[in-house]
Structure 1
C-alpha cells in the first residue's frame, strides 16, 4: 500500500450496512452513449481508447472536481414496485447475453435497476483497446408478467452478472456479480452466491455516519478463451473517488480476484475500509438460546480468520449480538484475513431452501505492505437471515490527506473449502458450542480443535483466559479417530456484561493451534 500526493473537496453521512441480493438479466452491446451529465470529466465514449491508466487518470481528475451524485429516484414504477421474487425472475432471452454468439467461456448479463437497486451504473465492453458502451434493449429480457419500459443506457442498468465455464466442456454457470454500492461477489464451481466484497468502505459504523462509495461505471474487457476476465471499476462518493482493476479467474475449488486499487481523497479520510467483506449470521451453535427454529443453524459466515503480521493464526467465531459489537485486531503487515464458512455438511444447517453449506469462504491476502492498522469486525443485531450483518475490513492507521492518493494490491480467494493456509503442525478450530452452565448465568463452552499434530508425543498445555468473570471448570476430551481434541470450560461472568475469551494450545513453547477468541455477552 502506497501513499502519494494528488488532488481535493467535501463529506457526507449515512448509517450502518446494506446488503446486496442476487438478480438476473441481460442485454447486447451496442453503440450510442450520451456524455456524462456531471461537470466532472466525462466517461469515455464509443470508440475511445481504453489504456492501462485510463481509469486511474479519470478517477484522479474527477476527485479534483465537485461531486455530483447519480440520479437514483427515476426508476420506472413498473420496476420499482417489484417484489424480490419478481425482480429476480427477470432473465436474459435465449442467446441475448453479451458474448452469447462467441465461444469465450463467459457470458455477460447486464442487470436492470429495480426497487432494491436504484443507482444507475454505466456498463462498457472494452475490445481491442476500444470502449463499446452496452445499450439497453428490452427485447433482450424475459420478464414474466411485465411489460418492460423504454430506457436509456444511462438509466437502465444497476450492474452485471458473469457466467463462466469452469473447465473443459462444463456448462456456463454463475461466477461473478457486481451490483449495489461498490459490492461484488464470486463463487467457485457449483456454489451459491454468499459473501459480498466491497471495493471501498468509508467510516463503517462510525458515529459520524457511514459513507457509501458507488460504482459509477464498469468496463469489462472481452476475455480470451481460457483466460481471466478483467473488470475496471470507477467508484465515487462525496469524500473520495477510486479506480479498481479486478482480474477474475474462475476455478472448480477456488475462484480468485486480483485487485489493484487506487483511492483519491476529496476530503481527509481518517476511517478507510479496504478489503471489505460481509455476510449473514442469524444463529448457530454458540448462540441458540434466543432461537426458535427447526434448523441447526443459519449463516453464510461462521467466523473471522486472521493470520497476523506477528505469525499468530486467529479464529474468531462470529455471532448475532443484542447490540452492535465492534472488534479491532491491531496489526502490522497482516498476512491475510477472511470471513470463512467452515461448516460444509448439510447436517450443519439442515436448511432445504438456502443450503448455507454451499456458500463460499472469502480469504484475502495483501500483495503489498499494508503497514499498521487493524482488521476490524462489525457484528450487527439482526432478526433476518437476509441481512448481511457481519462485516470485516482492514482499517489503515494512517489518514489519507485531502488531495492525496493511496494505491493497494490484494488477492481474494473465494473457496469451497478453507483457503486460509495453515502449516500442518497447527490445528484449526473445527467447531464452537455454547450452552447453559451449572447454575445461574454460567455458560458452558466446547471448542473442538482438529489436526494430526494434536496426537503426536508430548503433553499439550491449554492456554485459557477470560478478561472478566472466572473460568470455573476445564476439561479435555480426545478423539483420535477423527483427530479432534475438545476443550470444555465454564465461564462464570458474575455481574459482568461482557468477557473476552482466549484459548490456544501449546506443546512447551511451541504453538500447535489457532488462537480461538470470542466475546461473550448475555
Structure 2
C-alpha cells in the first residue's frame, strides 16, 4: 500500500530530486527566442522513445540521513531575482532526506536559456552540525516562489514544487495544506502506484510589471512522459493555470488527471481519533463536484478502517475540488496546526473533458502528517501509447468559499452511533447558503433522503435553526453489517431543487 507522507515545514516527503551540476557557471547561454511549450513537448516526445533511466545519484550521507525537521532548517537565503525590482523571487531546495531524483532548473530571460548557477554559500543550515566535506556542486531538489503577498513590500513564499510532480500554493493569509500533482498513475491499485516526476524546470523571468509567473516542466517516469506549462498568479486566492501534454510509454491501469492529495484524520464523528483530544484534524472536509448537467454534489471525506475507493461518473464536468468548510479556530483548537487556514483547492477544466469519473481514494491513517486522501479525474478513454493527450485546467487555492457553489449546500456533516439499534448510525447534515438563508422556518422545505444497498432509514426529520439560518437533517440509518450504504440527501421547495446533493458511503456502527 502506498502512503502519502509529508513534513509540515517543507512539503510532501515523497519522490526525490538532486543533480550534480558542477561547472554550471561556465555553461554558455543558449539563445532560444522561440522557447515555449512546443520546445518542452518535443523533449517529452523524444523521451517517450527512449529507455527510462531511473538511476539515482548518490547523496552525501549527512544530507540523506536528515530527519524532516532537520531538513527544514536548510534555507536558501539568497533568492534568485532579489533586488532586481521584480514581482517574484525564487528560492531553491537542497537535495536531502527523501529527495533522491535529479532536477535541472534553468532560467529563461529575454530568450536566453541557461541553468541557474548553484552556490552552496547561498544556503543556511540553521543549527545543523555541517561536515566540511559537502560537495560544492550538489544541485537543486526543487524550488519555491515568493511574492509580496501577506506583508508588502516584503516577499513571502506562496507556491512550492518539491518531490515527484507535487506542488502546492496558498493565497493571502493561508498556510500550506492540500497539494496538487502533475499526474497520478495507478493509485490504490494492487500492482502499486507509480510516481512520475518533474526532471527539468524552466523559470521564465517576469517583467517588472508582471502579475503572473510562468514555469515550464518536463515530466518523466517508467510509464509516461509529459510537458507542462504553469501560469501562476498570487493574491487573495492564488491560481495556477496548467497546460499539459502527456505521452504514455505503455498502457496503465488508472490514468489520473489533475490529482489532489490531502489529509483527513478525524472530525465530527468521522475517522478514528485514537485518543486525540482535538475536536478535528484535517486539511480538507469535503469533496465537491459540479457535473455538466448542473448538479452539484458534496461528499464528506472520511478516514476509513480499510482502503476505500469511490467513483462518481460525470459528463462534461464543470469542476471538482477539496474544500475546508469550517474556518473557525474552535473547530480544530490547533495552535500550531491552524487547520482553519488550510486552503480549499478547486479544479476547473479548460475546455470539454467529456465523459469520465471523479475518483476518491481514502486510506486509513492515525497520523496527521500523512496524506491519506487522493482525488483525481479519470478520462473515459486513455490515449494509446505515444499518442499525445492535451488537457488544461485552472487550480484555485482559496480560503473563502463564497461564490463557488451556486445553490445552498451542506456546510456540516456529523456522524454518531445510535444506542438503541445495533449497527445504526445517526447522520446529521446542515444545509445553508443561497436562498435558504432568507426563508422563514415555516417554509415547507422538503427533505429527500435515500439509502442504498439494503440499508433501512429508521427515522428522518428536518429542522430550522433560526440563529444560524440553516436547515438541519437528522436521520437514523441502519446499513447492512457487511455492506456500506450509499446515502443521498437533498432539499426541495414546491418541487424545485433547493440544494446540491449530499452523498456518503455509510458503514454500520461497530457493535
What is the TM-score normalised by the length of structure 1?
A: 0.89
User: Larger deviation: 15-24 or 371-380?
Assistant: 15-24
Structure 2, unaligned runs of 5 or more = 12-20
C-alpha deviation, 1:474, in angstroms: 0.9
Which residue of structure 2 lines up, in the alignment, with residue 286 of structure 1? 269
C-alpha deviation, 1:369, in angstroms: 1.2
Q: Deviations over 1:346-375 (max 9, x none)?
A: 011001111111111000100111111100
Show the 5 A alignment for 1:315-354: 315-354=298-337
Show the 5 A alignment for 1:122-133: 122-133=104-115
Instruction: Report which structure shows greater RCO (CA 8 Å, sep ≥6).
Output: 1
**Partner Cα separation in structure 2 for residue 376 and residue 494 of structure 1:** 24
Which residue of structure 2 lines up, in the alignment, with residue 63 of structure 1? 48
Q: Aligned pair 1:240/2:230, yes or no?
A: no
Cα distance change of structure 1 residues 289 and 256 upon mapping to structure 2, 3 Å threshold: closer
Task: Specify which of 443, 446, 458 is matched with residue 425 of structure 2.
Answer: 443
C-alpha deviation, 1:409, in angstroms: 0.9
**Partner Cα separation in structure 2 for residue 197 and residue 360 of structure 1:** 12
Aligned residue for 1:251, secondary structure, equals coil
User: Larger deviation: 202-211 or 412-421?
Assistant: 412-421
Show the 5 A alignment for 1:190-339: 190-225=173-208, 226-252=210-236, 254-287=237-270, 290-339=273-322
Which residue of structure 2 lines up, in the alignment, with residue 502 of structure 1? 488
Task: Specify which of 365, 378, 391 is matched with residue 374 of structure 2.
Answer: 391
Aligned residue for 1:414, secondary structure, equals strand
Cα distance change of structure 1 residues 61 and 146 upon mapping to structure 2, 3 Å threshold: same
**Partner Cα separation in structure 1 for residue 399 and residue 179 of structure 2:** 15
Which residue of structure 1 lines up, in the alignment, with residue 347 of structure 2? 364
**Partner Cα separation in structure 2 for residue 277 and residue 70 of structure 1:** 28
Conservation of the 8 A alpha-carbon contact between 1:24 and 1:161: no
Cα distance change of structure 1 residues 31 and 128 upon mapping to structure 2, 3 Å threshold: farther
Aligned residue for 1:79, secondary structure, equals helix
Q: Aligned pair 1:111/2:96, yes or no?
A: no
C-alpha deviation, 1:290, in angstroms: 4.8
Conservation of the 8 A alpha-carbon contact between 1:445 and 1:489: yes
User: Larger deviation: 111-120 or 280-289?
Assistant: 280-289
C-alpha deviation, 1:48, in angstroms: 4.0
Conservation of the 8 A alpha-carbon contact between 1:497 and 1:521: yes
Conservation of the 8 A alpha-carbon contact between 1:31 and 1:133: no
**Partner Cα separation in structure 1 for residue 135 and residue 45 of structure 2:** 30
**Partner Cα separation in structure 2 for residue 45 and residue 470 of structure 1:** 73
Which residue of structure 1 lines up, in the alignment, with residue 459 of structure 2? 473
Cα distance change of structure 1 residues 172 and 348 upon mapping to structure 2, 3 Å threshold: same
Conservation of the 8 A alpha-carbon contact between 1:23 and 1:87: no
Conservation of the 8 A alpha-carbon contact between 2:458 and 2:475: yes
Conservation of the 8 A alpha-carbon contact between 1:243 and 1:262: yes
Which residue of structure 2 lines up, in the alignment, with residue 4 of structure 1? none
Q: Aligned pair 1:413/2:392, yes or no?
A: no
**Partner Cα separation in structure 2 for residue 378 and residue 328 of structure 1:** 9
**Partner Cα separation in structure 2 for residue 287 and residue 384 of structure 1:** 15
Q: Deviations over 1:426-459 (max 9, x none)?
A: 2111111011214222211110001252253752
Which residue of structure 2 lines up, in the alignment, with residue 381 of structure 1? 364
**Partner Cα separation in structure 2 for residue 345 and residue 318 of structure 1:** 19
Conservation of the 8 A alpha-carbon contact between 1:413 and 1:419: no
**Partner Cα separation in structure 1 for residue 281 and residue 460 of structure 2:** 29
Number of residue-to-residue matches in the alignment = 489
Q: Deviations over 1:317-354 (max 9, x none)?
A: 00100000001100111000001111111011001111
Aligned residue for 2:62, secondary structure, equals helix
Aligned residue for 2:486, secondary structure, equals strand
**Partner Cα separation in structure 1 for residue 370 and residue 483 of structure 2:** 26
C-alpha deviation, 1:166, in angstroms: 2.5
Conservation of the 8 A alpha-carbon contact between 2:150 and 2:172: no
**Partner Cα separation in structure 2 for residue 24 and residue 387 of structure 1:** 13
Q: Aligned pair 1:431/2:412, yes or no?
A: yes
Conservation of the 8 A alpha-carbon contact between 1:63 and 1:265: yes
Which residue of structure 1 lines up, in the alignment, with residue 17 of structure 2? none
C-alpha deviation, 1:22, in angstroms: 5.5
**Partner Cα separation in structure 2 for residue 118 and residue 419 of structure 1:** 41
C-alpha deviation, 1:209, in angstroms: 1.8
Conservation of the 8 A alpha-carbon contact between 1:332 and 1:372: yes
Cα distance change of structure 1 residues 289 and 16 upon mapping to structure 2, 3 Å threshold: closer
**Partner Cα separation in structure 1 for residue 111 and residue 3 of structure 2:** 37
Conservation of the 8 A alpha-carbon contact between 1:363 and 1:419: no
C-alpha deviation, 1:173, in angstroms: 1.3
Structure 1, unaligned runs of 5 or more = 1-14, 36-43
Which residue of structure 2 lines up, in the alignment, with residue 90 of structure 1? 74
Conservation of the 8 A alpha-carbon contact between 1:186 and 1:255: yes
Conservation of the 8 A alpha-carbon contact between 2:265 and 2:271: no
Conservation of the 8 A alpha-carbon contact between 1:255 and 1:414: yes
Cα distance change of structure 1 residues 501 and 78 upon mapping to structure 2, 3 Å threshold: same
Aligned residue for 2:7, secondary structure, equals coil
**Partner Cα separation in structure 1 for residue 272 and residue 5 of structure 2:** 26
Aligned residue for 1:248, secondary structure, equals strand
User: Larger deviation: 358-367 or 468-477?
Assistant: 468-477
Q: Aligned pair 1:404/2:387, yes or no?
A: yes
Aligned residue for 1:58, secondary structure, equals helix
**Partner Cα separation in structure 1 for residue 24 and residue 271 of structure 2:** 53
